[in-house]
Amino acid sequence: MTEPLNPFTYGNPISDPRRFYGRSRELEQVFSRLRDPEFESTSVVGEHRMGRSSLLLHTAHPDVVRQRGLDPNTYIFVYAHLDVIPSTGTPARFYNYVLRRIGSVIRDQELADLLRQLSQREAVDAYDLEDLFDLVDRKELYIVLLLDDFENIASNPNFGPEFYYGLRSLAIHHHLALVTASMSDLVDLSRTDTIRASPFFNIFATINLQPFSTADIQAMRAGSLEGSSVSFTDADVDQVVRFAGRQPFFLQIAFHFLFETHRAGEDPARRMAQVEERFQAAAEPHLLGYWQHSNDNERIVLMALALLLCSRESEQAPAPGTPAAPIEALFAGAGSALASLTRRGLVLRTPEGHAPFCTAFGRWVLQEVASAPPLTGAERDKEKPKDLSLSLPASIKGPAGKWLNTVHTKYKDLFAKWLSDPRSAERAWALLERWKDAFGYRELAAAGPVETAEGPPELPALTQAELEQAARHLPPQGTVSILFTDLEGSTAMFQTLGDQQARGLLRIHDHILRQWFAKCGGYEVKNTGDGFMVAFPSARKALACTIGIQKELDAFTRDHAATPLRVRMGLNAGEALQEEQDFFGSAVILAARIMAKGSGGQVLVSELFRRLVGTTAAVTYIDRGQEQITGFEEPQHVYEVDWRASKAE
């Protein structure tokens, strides 16, 4: 029996009108301007993955054109994706490309011949374009040019004011309408005041794409599942909307994985936890893009809203629907940033106040800020250390200043900016103080000797230089040992225990592991939310760290049988490629893949790592034999560390 195809897809724009949902109001705005006697242009603005390309492709489809009251034989819709225009592109190359696109769909032979001639020329001038569109007018045809990714033109210095004047002239004097798609308003994309003042931008009406309404989501579910044996309950959809939001792209991802769990016959009790875990992994690159395209004030607003989201889910949270203090009370400079984030669809208004568009984004923001390592040594050399407490109001300078100067994150300047506004500093610090441990806050000893970290017998204690390196959070150089860890069943833990209790366990997990990283000279490269990537200058100290962690977690689990913490670990060694604070290369990949072969409570190591550690009576290995590792042609010899039989202190 043939398995049903998954109707939910993501990655490419939607090109089949039968699979396009929502955007009825936006489509009517576009077509009403085209039906207008003046044949007017429209600018579609939407955040990354908000469906701009899908909307343009849908608009251009002949069936849609006909349904909207226009004859596709008279109104010629031409889609052009401008991401093909390189940074060295010129207006001449732009018109050459656009004319070829028009020629590919035009049916009139005389126009097709002229377009072919013009597209073969090295350069097309204004007179050529006037002649072309004069002919279009005489034949009573109308060209609708749909220009996707208009940023590629607006950000290109080769496209000066004369280009915009020329394109505007064609649009207002001939049967040519433009429908552009971009991430920002066209005028905001302009590179110079001269271009910004161009009358070109006056010919457009702007449509801002927003997340789907409940009716749109219901239509997507019903239409996509029509004829399928799979069905989603209202509770399923509510959970998807909670963690994935209402943006069509993210809904497609979440529904895709939900459909797969149904098709695979997954246990209904664990189904949504698996969907959420897979969704988070698929969505992460796009969430990172949102963060990277946000300015400092927008990032502060996102951090504050993410912390509020966590607070609402804690035991001190007010009843659902209780209005929260406005975000301006936590960050006095939130006004324009909040408006921008709302317009971009990254922040939504809820009965409790503003919130990130989905819980996955809120959690990702906190994870990014908490896990980001500090500046590297080279970066520190470029700027002198500064006392960030100097910018804080007197009312919070003591506790907040101490925290700022010891916080383990490269975003400490962002925290300082947030806390420096006297109008909202006290409220901001009251919120931050509740969650300061999540950001790597460490109490520093004021005086006294530094304790040496002891591992299993026969393993050398850290040298003073290595202790200083760990204290400064500098990455090790040369050959390093790479450790990956993963907390088994973390997603299910949130589903079964609830967010509050699960977060408490996750903090215990982080505390235990980070204590051992510091004790054994490990450099925390990144926090993956339920695990870590750590680099060590010594294989023996890396091994000591894993044995110590597993023994401490085992003791915790014996005392808390109902809430066990089981972590799988993978170790490899080699010359890892280093870029800023991160490590790359096959040595890193192999460590991660070896970890993935294990299960909670296991420490797996490569052959190279075992050899680097050398022979020691303190450590016992279990030979796992040759393992086929994804991405590596030759099988890899893997060993399991019998940490229960190994000695550790």
pLDDT average per 10 residues of sequence, the chain (649 residues): 76 90 96 96 93 95 97 96 87 92 94 91 89 96 96 89 93 96 86 77 93 95 93 94 94 94 85 87 87 94 90 55 69 92 92 89 86 50 66 91 77 90 92 74 36 34 43 53 91 78 85 88 82 88 93 89 91 69 73 91 92 74 87 86 74
Cβ atoms of residues 139 and 111 within 8 Å:
yes
CB neighbours of residue 439 within 10 Å = 20
Could you tell me the two tokens for 474? Answer: 């500098």
What size, in residues, is the chain? Answer: 649
Instruction: Compute φ and ψ for 29, nearest 5 degrees.
Output: -65, -45
Report yes or no: 550 and 603 within 8 Å, Cβ to Cβ.
yes
Question: For position 313, what pLDDT does the model report?
Answer: 62
pLDDT at 108: 93
From the list 324, 23, 368, 6, the residue with the least C-alpha distance to 181 is 23
pLDDT of residue 385: 58
Dist CA 365 CA 266 (whole Å): 30
Note the pTM of the prediction, 2 decimals.
0.66
Q: Which of 549, 548, 524 is nearest to 535 (CA)?
A: 524
CATH of domain 23-208: 3.40.50.300
The third-level CATH classification (topology) of the domain covering 464-641 is Alpha-Beta Plaits (3.30.70)
Of the candidates 43, 70, 68, 60, the one whose C-alpha atom is nearest the C-alpha of residue 102 is 60
